[in-house]
Amino acid sequence: MSLKTKLKNNQLTLGSWITIGHPAIVDIMASAGFEWLVVDMEHTSIDLTMAHNLISTIQANGMKALVRVSKNEEVIIKRILDMGADGIVVPMIKSKPDALEAIDYAKYPPIGKRGVGLFRAQKYGLGFEDYKKWVNDELVIIAQIEHIDAVKNIEEIIATDGIDGIIIGPYDLSGSMGFPGKYHRSDVKQAIEHVLEICKENSFPSGFHVIESDPGKLQERISQGCTFLAYSLDFFFLGDSARNGMKSIRDGVK
């Protein structure tokens, strides 16, 4: 079953986040059984060439390749999609007009306004007709909800035809409320719960980026009804494992 279909059916799907720009990271993460990986181009040094390599490696490992683009902007979105990404995560979607912009940049006329290029996604000119159909049937567009304005406008965002799901970014959401990183505050938690409740009422797939590598934190979001879940990220898996291992070693030595 495709990721698009799972989102449409509001079925649980699990992925993670790539911030370290090396294909070996993807190969290692693939062994965990993720269904998709998001290449982060917003907050990392990953450039277009490395994104191209990572997209290919993710797909070669049987996973869907999503890219969090640097911003909701025409050129970066069409270049990433022309590279063959299965979908995009678009940061800072605050309103319906923002959501419509993302759709315009990702989809060809008459639905959107995306310019036509012939690159990897279109099989270098040999598969454009097939790709046009694929864009309409399978391309995934995820709106990142990470600002208090998005919380206020969540009903109109999820009602926008062409948005396949949302994912909450807790760090920036707390920052937009004046408390960056304090996403355990009661008012930030209330904002998150409001988004999840509206999605639940409308049977719309809600997502969350669970930063911690603790699987219990992921289970909490599943119990809240989230179905599009990003479980931690590459450097937390690496760092937490190393730190926890060394702590156990040192405690044992004592």
Catalogue the active-site residues.
43
Q: What is the DSSP string of 101-144?
A: HHHHHHS-TTT--PPP--SGGGGGGT-HHHHHHHHHHH-EEEEE
